[in-house]
Amino acid sequence: MKKFIVFTASVLVVSIVSGSALGLDQADRKRRSPRQRGAVAGQGKMGKLLESFNLSEEELARVRQIFDTRRQADANWKKENAEDFKDIRDAMTKAKEAGDSAAMRAAGDRMRKLMASRKNGLEDIFVQLSEILSKEQLAKAKLAMSPQKSGPNSYLFRPEIFNAALAKLDLTDEQKTEIKKIQAALKVETDKARAAMKEAKTRQEKSEIMKGLGQASKEAWDKIKAILGEELAAKLQQITGEMAKKAQRQRDPFAGVDLTDGQKKKISAIRQSVREKMRNAQDGEAKRALITEMRKEIDAVLTDEQKVQLKEQMSKRRKAYSQSKRRRDQPDKE
């Protein structure tokens, strides 16, 4: 099964949990009207989230100052690098129009280096917020603010993870039935998209297909979120994220090989070197040659016993993938 399905959804759906039962000492909180709290907290999802925490005026002012400081730092960084951004965007446009893949990769490398210079202030913000918010409030703020590579809707394309996460929730039979119907309808759309991808001739056609599938998955998630409610939806999002990370670690074949720290560093360096070379590979044949080269270099690092362990891990991965594919392709049975 094509792996493109896993990467279809890029839309971040943030579930904001209501502020009831936060365990706050209400005697220390000044009561304000929703209008007053909204004016101080600001609009949007973070404003609503902060409002649900029922913070005092002083606490809310401190929180707002933290965000204002960070926003100003971001604005300064953007201003300082505006010309570089424009140069890179122009280079990308010219390379795309000329069909120059090498120039596109070079521009992409410049953009990655530029973005790497931007300090990620989220951790700094969380440290400062921890002095104001309770542990539960901080956890909700982290969930709302932390960037994610995949939105919760993307896990709908990985039923082995999504269904396992659902099983951890205390759902009614009616909720389970309704969610199964939504999953079945999305599978129909997925199958249509997969067939259309085989017939697509251009990148534009493929892009439109992927956008359509991404929108279908977002709509499916919105329906599921409506069935679960905000609190359960947020919990499901957290569980699926944790399970996906665990699955990612398990997919690494070296995770089951007894390596020394020195071997781990050497293998990591080899893999990183190959990834960098891959960016400049002109075609599939060049990429396959790089993979063959990588395998030889890694083999030279491993002992005979470790090579056997690695072979066993690779076999387990292939078997697990085959089983997962069969489960995905099987129609759901009531």
Q: Which of 231, 251, 271 is the last residue of a domain?
A: 251
Instruction: Kindly state whether residues 233 and 303 are assigned to the same domain.
Output: no
In a domain, 68, yes or no: yes
pLDDT score, position 204 = 85
Instruction: Kindly state whether residues 243 and 213 are assigned to the same domain.
Output: yes
Instruction: Kindly state whether residues 157 and 176 are assigned to the same domain.
Output: yes
Question: Angle at CA 311, nearest 5°, toward 265 and 256?
Answer: 50
Instruction: Kindly state whether residues 42 and 143 are assigned to the same domain.
Output: yes
Q: What is the DSSP letter of 32?
A: -
The Cα–Cα gap between 138 and 48 comes to 14
In the predicted model, residues of the chain with pLDDT beneath 50 are 1-43, 149, 331-334
Which pTM does this prediction carry?
0.44
Q: What is the count of structural domains for the chain?
A: 3
In a domain, 104, yes or no: no
In a domain, 334, yes or no: no
In a domain, 238, yes or no: yes
Q: What is the dihedral of CA 309, 312, 316, 318, to 10 degrees?
A: 120
DSSP of 83-118: HHHHHHHHHHHHHHHHT-HHHHHHHHHHHHHHHHTS
Is the separation of the CB atoms in 1 and 329 below 8 Å? yes
Residues spanned by the domain of 259: 253-329
pLDDT tens-digit map of 139-185: 878 767 765 545 566 777 778 888 888 999 999 999 999 999 999 99
Instruction: Kindly state whether residues 245 and 263 are assigned to the same domain.
Output: no
pLDDT tens-digit map of 190-227: 999 999 998 988 888 888 998 898 889 889 999 999 99
In a domain, 294, yes or no: yes
Instruction: Kindly state whether residues 179 and 197 are assigned to the same domain.
Output: yes
Q: Which of 236, 251, 266 is the last residue of a domain?
A: 251
Tokens describing residue 312:
């066993």
- Tell me the Cα Rg of the chain: 24
Is the separation of the CB atoms in 221 and 8 below 8 Å? no
In a domain, 24, yes or no: no
Instruction: Kindly state whether residues 304 and 290 are assigned to the same domain.
Output: yes
In a domain, 50, yes or no: yes
Instruction: Kindly state whether residues 202 and 301 are assigned to the same domain.
Output: no
Instruction: Kindly state whether residues 136 and 154 are assigned to the same domain.
Output: no
pLDDT score, position 325 = 62
pLDDT score, position 152 = 60
Instruction: Kindly state whether residues 274 and 202 are assigned to the same domain.
Output: no
Instruction: Write down the residue that tokens 């070296």 correspond to.
Output: 254
In a domain, 97, yes or no: no
Instruction: Kindly state whether residues 159 and 76 are assigned to the same domain.
Output: no
